[in-house]
């Protein structure tokens, strides 16, 4: 028999089904060891020596792992494919080594980016060693947590009773929040005015436009600082005669967005559904670990803790086939879209973006197996991933330039219409472009137009917003 160690019991159950009776899959229930909360757990004077303590909660699960390891031919560490997963694998190996259970036994580290039979089998067939650099990164992080947090937290407790801890993350977050709050407090709003005009032509068609040139000068934000200045401009404009100086049509494209990373998924789920970051991750965790479909637990998405935007070549081929079959060749770019240039500075390129494990598993097909929140998040991930491999959306942008006889005053009207849906066929982005709401009439250069109404509007500059959780 072979022992496989994973992090969670839900994952253990699913993987055991895939691997069969020759394997026993046990969960570590997260980390099995940690630094005790007492002085000397990290010794900076002795090469940052660390004292590890087995968690009381983990003792019974660890006993089951060590007992099974004693009767196993091979030990496979299959914890998550990130830094914490690597650290858990290292801790398990260290404990087994201390108990002299690794003698004459093979120990392997395997990873898989999704919990599907194909991915798990492939992972088991391609073992590797524990990655020392990931373990070192974990050690550095824990040492910082301990050395910073252990010294700062007691100060915090005296000033803010009820606070749990301070440290590596909380201190930086607090600094960002307080700096933003100071900006808001010191902010001094400034007044400015804008001017729009409703023009009408001989066919009584309306053209809504914005003032773009006044007294020969381009309009800036603070061109009109108060009511007197805008009133003076209105008087001069009302006495002027206007004609159509130019009509311009340009094609512009909007490219699809990259597939989700952890942070972009949290931000989008917050904006679209009002989900907090932890709620988003809990739902994603469940979709990753597996949903019961027709009696079989199936992982629906790839690993959700990632800052990579790449998608495997195999998945891209499946995406492209689905786009061609369901939407037509016109929606399929000649070459797969690449988002490598848009990666985070420190992205771990080993990780794929968040995507469905099977793009052919349409959201409507799984709706009856999941709850409402899981459906919303799966549909969001599915549509964003698929749309990332589609052609850009194309728009016709029309611009009309309306000018006074002396060319000292110009108004500009813009409107756009969707010419080709492209990726918008699958992934709807919240439209913020005012131009798309402005339908322009057919009009000729040199045609005279009259002012129907001038609309002046007072504005004040606003301070930067407070951070949302996402």
In sequence order, what are the residues at sequence separation of 6 or more whose Cβ sits closer than 8 angstroms to the Cβ of residue 291?
Answer: 297, 298, 300, 366, 369, 370, 374
Residues with Cβ within 8 Å of 134's Cβ and at least 6 positions away in sequence, in order, are 83, 86, 87
Burial 439-455 (b: 16+ CB within 10 A, else e): ebeebeeeeebebeebe
> Diameter of the chain by CA atoms?
97
Q: What is the dihedral of CA 97, 103, 104, 107, to 10 degrees?
A: 10
Q: For this structure, is 427 an active site residue?
A: no
Determine which one of 29, 138, 214, 303 is catalytic. 303
Q: Is 50 exposed, middle or buried (0-12, 13-18, 19+ CB in 10 A)?
A: middle
Tokens coding 440? 């322009």
Q: Helix, strand, coil: what percent of the chain each, to 5? A: 40, 25, 40
Give which of 438, 462, 440, 436 is closest to 449, Cα–Cα: 440
Q: What are phi and psi of 104, to 5 degrees?
A: 60, 15
- Tokens at 302, concatenated: 């790839």
Buried b (16+ CB within 10 A) or exposed e, 383-395: bbbbbbbbbbbeb
Residue 24 CB neighbours (<10 A): 19
Q: What radius of gyration do the chain's Cα atoms show?
A: 30
DSSP 396-457: EEEEEEEEETTSS-EEEEEEEEEEE-GGGGT-PPPP--GGGG-PPPP--TT-EEEEEEEEEE
Exposed / middle / buried, residue 285 (Cβ in 10 Å: 0-12, 13-18, 19+): middle
Query: Pairing mode, if any, of strands 23-27 and 2-6?
Result: parallel
3-state secondary structure of 214: strand
Q: Render the burial of 212-248: b for 16+ CB within 10 Å, e for the rest.
A: ebbeeeebeeebbeeeeebeebbeebeeeebebeebe
DSSP 353: P
Whose tokens are 């130019």? That residue is 246
Give me the active site residues, please.
303
């Amino acid at each position: 028999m072979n022992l496989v160690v994973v992090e969670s019991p839900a994952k253990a159950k699913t993987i055991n089904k895939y691997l069969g009776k020759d394997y026993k899959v046990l969960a570590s229930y997260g980390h099995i060891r940690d630094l005790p909360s007492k002085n000397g757990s990290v010794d900076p004077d002795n090469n940052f020596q660390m004292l590890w303590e087995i968690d009381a909660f983990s003792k019974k699960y660890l006993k089951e792992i060590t007992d099974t390891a004693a009767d196993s031919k091979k030990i496979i560490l299959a914890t998550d494919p990130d830094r914490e997963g690597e650290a858990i694998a290292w801790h398990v190996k260290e404990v087994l080594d201390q108990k002299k259970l690794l003698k004459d036994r093979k120990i392997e580290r395997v990873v898989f980016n999704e919990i599907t039979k194909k991915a798990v089998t492939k992972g088991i067939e391609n073992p590797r060693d524990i990655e020392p650099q990931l373990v070192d990164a974990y050690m550095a992080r824990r040492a910082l947590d301990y050395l910073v947090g252990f010294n700062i937290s007691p100060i915090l407790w005296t000033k803010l009773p009820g606070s749990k801890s301070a440290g590596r993350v909380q201190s930086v977050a607090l600094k960002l929040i307080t700096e933003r709050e100071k900006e808001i407090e010191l902010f001094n709003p400034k007044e400015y005015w804008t001017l729009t005009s409703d023009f009408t032509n001989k066919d009584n068609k309306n053209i809504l436009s914005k003032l773009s040139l006044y007294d020969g000068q381009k309009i800036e934000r603070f061109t009109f600082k108060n009511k007197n200045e805008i009133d003076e401009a209105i008087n001069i404009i009302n006495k002027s005669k206007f004609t159509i100086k130019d009509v311009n049509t340009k094609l512009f494209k909007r490219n699809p967005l990259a597939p989700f990373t952890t942070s972009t998924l949290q931000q989008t789920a917050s904006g679209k559904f009002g989900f907090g970051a932890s709620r988003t991750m809990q739902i994603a965790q469940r979709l990753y670990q597996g949903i019961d479909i027709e009696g079989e637990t199936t992982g629906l998405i790839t690993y959700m803790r990632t800052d990579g935007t790449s998608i495997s070549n195999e998945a891209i081929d499946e995406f492209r086939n689905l786009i061609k079959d369901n939407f037509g060749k016109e929606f399929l770019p000649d070459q797969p879209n690449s988002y490598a240039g848009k990666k985070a500075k420190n992205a771990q390129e080993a990780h794929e973006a968040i995507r469905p494990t099977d793009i052919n598993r349409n959201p409507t097909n799984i709706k009856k197996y999941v709850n409402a929140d899981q459906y919303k998040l799966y549909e969001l991930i599915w549509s964003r991933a698929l749309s990332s491999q589609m052609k850009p959306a194309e728009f016709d942008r029309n611009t009309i330039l309306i000018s006074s006889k002396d060319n000292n005053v110009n108004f500009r009207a813009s409107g756009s219409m969707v010419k080709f849906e492209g990726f918008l066929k699958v992934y709807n982005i919240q439209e913020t472009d005012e131009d798309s709401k402005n339908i322009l009439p057919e009009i000729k250069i040199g045609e005279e137009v009259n002012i129907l109404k001038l609309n002046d509007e007072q504005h004040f500059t606003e301070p930067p917003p407070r951070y949302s959780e996402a």
